Structure 1
Amino acid sequence: MFISFIFIPLHINSQELPKILNAKQKSATDYLPDFSYAGYHFGETNLPDFQGKIINAVDFGLKADDNLDDSKALLKAIKAANETKGNVILQLPSGRIILSEILYIERSNFVLRGTSSAENGTEIYCPRPLMYLKDPESLAELREYLTTFDKRQREPENNVDLPFSQYAWSGGFIWTQVPNERVKSYLDQYEPTPNILAKVSTGNMGEHSITVSEIKNLKIGDIVELQLFNKEGENGEIIADLYKGAKVKPGSHHWKFPKLPIVRQQVEITKIAGSKITIKTPLTISIKPVYQAQLVEWKHLNEVGIEHLRFTFPDIPRIAHHVEPGNNAVFLTRLFNSWVKDVKITNADSGILAEEISNITIEDIITDGTHLAHYTVTLGGVHNVLVKNLKIYNKAVHPLSFNTFATKNVYQNCEIFADPLLDQHSGANHQNLFDHITVHFTADKNNSYALFGGGGADYWKPSHGPFSTFWNLNVQVSNPSDKTILLYGMKDGALARIIGVNGNAKFDVKYDPDPYIEFLNTSMEKIPSLYDYQLQKRLKN
């Protein structure tokens, strides 16, 4: 295996390091998660030069650049690819391909490959949004949820009172899925009976060992889901443990759905010794018997890639937030050890959406266009996902966003050129990393800027759980002055770590409540990336 990351000399004098790197990490005061397990194969290998049987889309009648719809040919090609045994590549030609149907990837060891994301490469042009297609069966529960609870966007000042779209945070023209597998929980009556592989009674935050009982058909190498529950109501012990006593008020969804796990992570079993199981990645919170934790079967696809192409959408008028018609490029669900790379997305409502994926790398992505997007690349309900080298040139409501149930994910070396916002979108998300992020903005008349966002509904507040981390935040201001610029916006982010805010001006940070702030207005040249530093240290050990 060949590993690629920024070289960071590990012999740096400890006096030159942020103190939090040398802390004993025994308490919530100085705890810093290990983010190094994010990404394809836990960050331990580069993305593959995938080889396999090549299925050429042109052999199924696709003709690029002829101004005719190519959907029927693409559906035939992807059906053939889904039915082919072994590694398979669906190869798209250069030129404009017109797509007005959803292409479902439903098998492992599959790559959808264009020739390049550049102007002379492969362009997938989607002339009309998803709302004009047949309703996807896999979103039936979401549609029922939206109507049952009358989810609407209400903006009286704009004379807006419209129902939410099923495509506001779901769906895409390229869509990975395990057929007939529920992806996201919305309504209790549809909650399936899980295949429980073991009951879990104890485990410590940051460690790899758990105590189990009633083991069933579990073996080393299995990828399963660890689930923790709140069965105790509003005063459940897991709520207190999740937020570590921070001065935040958890919303009602933390206790109103006791059948749904409130903390989950996909784990690889590396050792089984009696009642002790070792997992590859560290626990995000400690496990106690009252949490009724369990390991359950997790159905997913492996080694799926989407690469070397671009998506283009027409710049249609934007009506309102949450009523987006569905100009969404990619929807990733039920994936493990997979990737998206070298993709450009223009004028999307949302570029790349994700749910129920783990250990995915999304790299070398560009989003642009004149259309105001909802999301660019967003991470919700996912674990150990690495998004690196994302360049955002378009305006978006949530340019970078960690959403509901997101844990141990990393945005690394990303850059936002228009109206930057670092959003954490409520829903028990915790321990996520903004790593070496560059933002560009114009300070307001008060010499300040609302850089830190806390979106999401009140019933899933606070905006994030403990130990969300900002490392080496490079801030470039178009109108710098001698005055200190205040970076603000977060009011309910529990126990954040903010290390290394620097740029072309002097900055102060207001972030509530109780953040750990270090290396403010200090260069981070010695350790530009926390993810790379931790990965290099782990692999060396």
Structure 2
Amino acid sequence: MNRQTIIICCSIFISSINLIGQEIPKIIGSQQKLVTNYLPDFSYAGYHFGESKIPESQGKIVNATDYGVKANDGLDDSKALLKAIKACNEIEGNVVLQLPAGRIILSDILYIERSNFVLRGAGSGETGTEIYCPRPMMYFKDPESLAELREYLNTFDKRQREPENNVDLPFSQYAWSGGIIWTQVPKERVKSYLDKYEPKSNPLAKVSSGTMGEHIITVSDIKGLKVGDIVELQLFNKDGENGEIIKDLYKGANVKPGSHHWKFPMLPIVRQQVEIIKIAGTKITIKTPLTISIKPSYQAQLVEWKHLNEVGIEHLRFTFPDIPRIAHHVEPGNNAIFLTRLFNSWVKDVTITNADSGILAEEIANVTIQDIVTNGDHMAHYTVTLGGVHNVLVKNLKIYNKAVHPLSFNTFATKNVYQDCEIFVDPLLDQHSGANHQNLFDNITVHITPDKNSSYALFGGGGADYWKPSHAPYSTFWNLNILVSNPDKISKPVLLYGMKDGPFARIIGVNGNCKFDVKYEPDAYIEFLNIPIDKVPSLYDYQLKKRLK
């Protein structure tokens, strides 16, 4: 007989469940389309929607050594690397820029601004390629693409104020942006900060309806769209604080949306990068399912989305000096990789030591980031973070260093997946506000040390109040493996807590080397507590296999 203990504390608070003989969680049964136990399909995340493996890229190989890059000579290689990049940009077709083994010194930003390009090292290990960055980006020339961000930070006097630590310092432009390796489409705005720079709308089609979880949208005024196009679907709130889209986005949850949900009517509050797979009159079929149903009041539209394709960064490591950490948001810019404007691209086999942020991302879709290690003594802001991105898969990320936000879904992130990741020190599963929704923590392992009350704040809700709540409905945690440092000394279930404003989360399969309770507010769906999901260890793999079958 199944037994289930439920403790109600403002939210669903479920203690141990003993479900003898049950093979798979009920939420992946036949009724998952119902609002009460809706479970998004996360299987479209990653390179080519998860349907293709990251390629061993072929093409013309350009050796960086031919342009003056010389490893292990103690001299700066920036100018030589920039020459090599320029040479690659003049070659048509697939290009691989091959870096030599050994230490390469870099003190300038390498911009990747073309498709069909791979930056490849000789490996991420000790005998591979090391990119050593002796000084942070704060000493570089200010990037043109961050001019709007700099103006925003100055206009609104964004500062880190910690009177108790004698800190009153302006935010750094590199706190959540920028990287030594930086993908971009030249002259394209990546992130909105100021209304005056919002472009005039030029829709390729107006969208009047569509159903959450489905693939067909109703359109009008089509302009030049064709099957195979990759475009951006944008939904707006132009009806103020009581806008219908705010109510629909949060599904009537007991949360209070912040002012940014209505103060910027020109800014799309929900967006997806989508591939057009069929056009039939007023009906368009898109490859990936909608994250929210569309109504006429949302003034939804399809617009051009400029991006790069088939870009890879692989087989190398980054090392930064272990400089003193001053304060949150004033990081000087020891950031390894900044991914913007990418589709069907990848980063793999990369180790990052002593970074402020390892890999940052904005405005990318269907990118796979896998086999990443972050380590070092330096306290990081982010390791690999996902903000303003769609269908990104982060797989096999190992985090050995302390970080403010070890795993983080940030503003506007939708349908992204952290899979098979492991956090070895001070773990936190962060959802960073900003209308992010329907993201998945999948088969994650964390190492924790509970406090004296046998509790641990595992679930984080970062971000500014004006973008609260921490996430919208259907964020999902699947098969969380919790390893307690001293299980023999634990006499009662460890309470995992921390989230107070994350509505309708799905928490399935919290288990580990002792017993756990979960407190997650409000209205979480919790199943398979203290039971490993042996039959379905990865929701992403399960859904992908089911879809492709």
Instruction: Say if 1:227 and 1:67 are closer, same or farther in 2 by CA, change over 3 A.
Output: same
1:384-430 per-position Cα deviation (integer Å, ceiling 9, x unaligned): 00000000000000000000000000000000000000000000000
What's the offset of the Cα at 1:436?
0.1
SS at match of 1:231: coil
Aligned pairs, how many?
Answer: 528
What's the offset of the Cα at 1:459?
0.1
- One of 314, 333, 339 as aligned partner of 1:307: 314
What's the offset of the Cα at 1:327?
0.1
Would you say 1:341 and 2:348 are equivalent positions?
Answer: yes
1:210-239 per-position Cα deviation (integer Å, ceiling 9, x unaligned): 000000000000000000000000000000
What's the offset of the Cα at 1:292?
0.1
SS at match of 1:66: coil
SS at match of 2:249: helix
Letter aligned with residue 503 of structure 2 = A
Q: Which residue in the other structure is 1:410 paired with?
A: 417
What's the offset of the Cα at 1:183?
0.3
Structure 1, unpaired ranges of 5+: 1-12
8 A Cα contact 2:49 2:366, kept in partner: yes
What's the offset of the Cα at 1:369?
0.1
1:25-73 per-position Cα deviation (integer Å, ceiling 9, x unaligned): 3433100000000000000010001001011110011110000000000
- One of 526, 535, 539 as aligned partner of 1:526: 535
Q: Which residue in the other structure is 2:23 paired with?
A: 16
Give the stretch that moved more between structures: 79-88 or 503-512. 79-88
1:258-307 per-position Cα deviation (integer Å, ceiling 9, x unaligned): 00000000000000000000000000000000000000000000000000
Q: Which residue in the other structure is 1:450 paired with?
A: 457
CA distance in 2 between partners of 1:438 and 1:187 (Å): 39
SS at match of 1:334: strand
8 A Cα contact 1:55 1:90, kept in partner: yes
CA distance in 2 between partners of 1:48 and 1:247 (Å): 45
8 A Cα contact 1:14 1:22, kept in partner: no
What's the offset of the Cα at 1:23?
4.6
Identical-residue share of aligned pairs (%)? 84
Q: Which residue in the other structure is 2:508 paired with?
A: 499
CA distance in 2 between partners of 1:91 and 1:193 (Å): 41
SS at match of 1:175: strand
1:73-118 per-position Cα deviation (integer Å, ceiling 9, x unaligned): 0010011112211100000000000000000000000000001000
- One of 469, 482, 485 as aligned partner of 1:475: 482
1:430-483 per-position Cα deviation (integer Å, ceiling 9, x unaligned): 000000000001111000000000000000000000000000000000012231
1:217-366 matches, cutoff 5 A: 217-366=224-373
Would you say 1:461 and 2:484 are equivalent positions?
Answer: no
CA distance in 1 between partners of 2:21 and 2:268 (Å): 40
What's the offset of the Cα at 1:15?
4.6
Q: Which residue in the other structure is 1:205 paired with?
A: 212
8 A Cα contact 1:482 1:505, kept in partner: no
Q: Which residue in the other structure is 1:487 paired with?
A: 496
SS at match of 1:317: coil
CA distance in 2 between partners of 1:23 and 1:439 (Å): 31
CA RMSD of aligned residues (A): 1.0
SS at match of 1:146: helix
SS at match of 1:192: coil
CA distance in 2 between partners of 1:538 and 1:194 (Å): 35
Q: Which residue in the other structure is 2:150 paired with?
A: 143
CA distance in 1 between partners of 2:83 and 2:33 (Å): 57
Letter aligned with residue 356 of structure 2 = D
With the length of structure 2 as denominator, give the TM-score of the two structures.
Answer: 0.95
1:166-223 per-position Cα deviation (integer Å, ceiling 9, x unaligned): 0000000000000000000000000112431100000000000000000000000000
CA distance in 1 between partners of 2:22 and 2:233 (Å): 39
8 A Cα contact 2:24 2:533, kept in partner: no
SS at match of 2:363: strand
SS at match of 2:153: helix
- One of 27, 30, 36 as aligned partner of 2:34: 27
CA distance in 2 between partners of 1:23 and 1:137 (Å): 51
Letter aligned with residue 506 of structure 2 = R
8 A Cα contact 1:113 1:306, kept in partner: yes
Q: Which residue in the other structure is 1:64 paired with?
A: 71
SS at match of 1:377: strand
**Deviating runs (4+, > 6 A) in structure 1?**
none
CA distance in 1 between partners of 2:24 and 2:306 (Å): 42
